[in-house]
């Protein structure tokens, strides 16, 4: 028996923003309750992981939500009917490997992440708590679905705070008083379009009188999350933990973040999922690449060929839009994204408009006039900028669309002066090799914005480039940049969180 005793007083803090509790991991981007889901949740900035725990036939705690294997493996077997080894084999064969809770506890300890434990039975809770203590996990909450279960956990001396999960239509406070719960957790996500409105001043007054912190249901609607973030809650569960503590370039001297091909380390590049992930996290721009199909449709895809990122082969330009609709643009990235399609440009534009996001549009092989028309028909000119390696196209865009914002790169010109003069670019993009304080000052004196592109993941190099104070930072690793900036601004806890392979 370990002598480690966690401190429970932290639940009475009111963190701002509230704790981001990743519901079964980042289950919007990975199969729930898998190690990949928890690693992604860490990358997305989650403070805690909600984990469902069951016991196998040989008494091993595993992360698994359902009581049986029908949905995951197509087998009419209960989790408690198979050994841990058999479960690992069956779920791995189904492409959704169920991890041992011991591995999750070790990963949480390594990353400094808390655990919100949803044990489906008492013995599973006892063994899972033991593993948390063995790994010296400081912050954990044990959730109970019934009053009797809550009371039994407390009677057994649970060393972590216990929450009571309360369904819609029930008053959580008498229930909490009756069973001794130390946290109330209303599960009210199905209470219409705006369940947050149920958490009014009277609700929080009752919680405060009883000294009960509040954790909310899992929520993925942006307007609801934004409302919850402003409330005095301890934590917010979400399949998309990035929504809880969003990046805000307006906070302090921060650059606007450009997500190269979307959040391409979270979801497949240049897809709707990658764009949504970037904007959900609060990042400013999504960079995308535009090509034209054989029948004249504008689509978002980087390579000239389909082989690397889709289930197809050969040149994209030789395929019709109907041909592309039959291809899978997600499965090569991860089986979770099977069925993701090559998006049309107008689909991404619509997403940007709905999310309040902005775009950096790179023209690879597409009619420049129709491309700009498609974007500016829906978006304000200040919310998008354009670039192409084809300088003639940029000159044409400047002539036909004087209001359009254009980018230029010094590496494409003999001198910086020539770059500044070319097609009256509004944004000048440097890279790690040519970004200097002197040239950046010259660009600023010319009234242009400065962008630096860096596609690596070296923290010291990121810090060096950020010290040049670019207006925009074009990166493959936006979440790493956000953590680094938080550390530079004084949140050393955020900066010290280690990166994990996802």
Question: Residue 64: helix, strand or coil by DSSP?
Answer: coil
Question: How remote is the C-alpha of 494 from its chain's centroid?
Answer: 15
> Which residue among 260, 297, 301, 395 is the active-site one?
260
302 is catalytic: yes
Pairing of strands 114-119, 140-144: parallel
CB 41 within 8 A of CB 241: yes
Respond yes or no on whether the N-terminal peptide bond of residue 391 is cis (omega within 30° of 0): no
**Distance (Å) of CA 221 to CA 243, 272, 496:** 9, 17, 30
Integer Cα distance of 479 and 382 in angstroms = 24
> Which residue bears the tokens 């077997």?
77
Question: Residue 224: helix, strand or coil by DSSP?
Answer: helix
Cα torsion angle, 76, 80, 86, 89, sign: positive
Give the 3-state secondary structure percentages of the chain, helix then strand then coil, rounded to 5: 40, 20, 40
Q: How many CB atoms lie within 10 A of CB 313?
A: 9
Three-class SS of 464-501: HHHCCCCCEEEECCHHHHHHHHHHHCCCHHHHHCCCCC
CB 195 within 8 A of CB 177: no
Q: Which residues of 102-131 are buried (b: 16+ CB within 10 A; e: fewer)?
A: bebbebbbebebbbbbbbbeeebbebbbbb
Question: Residue 454: helix, strand or coil by DSSP?
Answer: strand
According to DSSP, residue 100 is labeled B
Integer Cα distance of 488 and 502 in angstroms = 24
Tokens linked to 78? 């209960």
Integer Cα distance of 324 and 238 in angstroms = 33
> Which residue bears the tokens 């592309």?
324
Residue 406: partners with Cβ closer than 8 Å, 6 or more residues away: 385, 386, 387, 394, 397, 398, 423, 424, 425, 426, 427
In the chain, what's the furthest Cα-to-Cα distance? 77
Integer Cα distance of 209 and 106 in angstroms = 37
Tokens linked to 191? 């209470």
Total number of residues shown for the chain: 502
CA angle (274 as vertex; 36, 62 as ends), nearest 5: 15
CB 98 within 8 A of CB 33: yes
CB 276 within 8 A of CB 300: no
Active site residues: 260, 302
């Amino acid at each position: 028996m370990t002598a480690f005793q966690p401190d429970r007083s932290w639940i009475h803090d009111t963190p701002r923003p509230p704790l981001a509790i990743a519901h079964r991991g980042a289950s919007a981007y990975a199969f729930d309750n898998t190690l990949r889901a928890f690693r992604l949740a860490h990358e997305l900035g989650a403070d805690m992981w909600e984990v469902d725990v069951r016991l196998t036939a040989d008494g091993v705690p595993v992360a698994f939500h359902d009581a049986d294997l029908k949905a995951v493996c197509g087998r009419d077997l209960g989790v408690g009917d198979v050994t841990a080894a058999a479960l690992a084999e069956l779920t791995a064969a189904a492409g959704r490997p169920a991890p041992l809770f011991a591995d999750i506890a070790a990963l949480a300890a390594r990353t400094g992440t808390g655990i919100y434990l949803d044990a489906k039975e008492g013995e599973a809770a006892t063994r899972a708590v033991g593993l948390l203590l063995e790994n010296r996990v400081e912050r954990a909450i044990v959730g109970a679905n019934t009053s009797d279960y809550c009371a039994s956990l407390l009677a057994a001396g649970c060393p972590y705070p216990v929450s009571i999960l309360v369904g819609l239509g029930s008053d959580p406070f008498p229930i909490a008083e009756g069973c001794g719960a130390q946290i109330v957790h209303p599960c009210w996500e199905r209470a219409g379009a705006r369940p947050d409105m149920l958490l009014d001043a009277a609700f929080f007054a009752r919680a405060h009188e009883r000294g009960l912190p509040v954790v909310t249901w899992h929520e993925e609607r942006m307007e609801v999350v934004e409302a919850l973030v402003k409330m005095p809650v301890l934590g917010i569960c979400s399949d998309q933990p990035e929504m809880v503590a969003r990046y805000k370039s307006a906070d302090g001297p921060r650059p606007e973040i450009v997500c190269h091909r979307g959040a391409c380390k979270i979801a497949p590049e240049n897809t709707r999922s990658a764009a949504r992930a970037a904007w959900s996290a609060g990042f400013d721009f999504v960079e995308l690449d535009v090509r034209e199909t054989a029948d004249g449709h504008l689509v978002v895809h980087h390579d000239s060929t389909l082989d690397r990122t889709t289930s197809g082969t050969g040149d994209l330009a030789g395929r019709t839009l109907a041909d592309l609709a039959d291809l899978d643009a997600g499965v090569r990235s991860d089986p979770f994204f099977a069925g993701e399609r090559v998006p049309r440009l107008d689909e991404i534009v619509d997403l940007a408009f709905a999310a309040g996001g902005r775009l950096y549009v790179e023209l690879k092989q597409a009619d420049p006039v129709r491309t700009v028309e498609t974007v500016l028909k829906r978006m304000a000119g200040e919310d998008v900028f354009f670039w192409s390696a084809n300088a003639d196209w940029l000159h044409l865009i400047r002539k036909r669309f004087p209001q359009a914002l254009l980018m230029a790169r010094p590496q494409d010109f003999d001198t910086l002066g020539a770059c500044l003069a070319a097609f009256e670019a509004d944004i000048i993009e440097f890279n790690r090799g040519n970004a200097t304080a002197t040239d950046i000052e010259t660009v600023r004196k010319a009234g242009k914005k400065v962008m630096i592109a860096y596609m690596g993941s070296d923290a010291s190099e990121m810090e060096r480039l950020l010290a040049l104070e670019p207006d925009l930072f074009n990166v493959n690793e936006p979440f790493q940049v956000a953590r680094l900036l938080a550390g530079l601004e004084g949140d050393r806890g955020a900066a010290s969180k280690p990166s994990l392979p996802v």
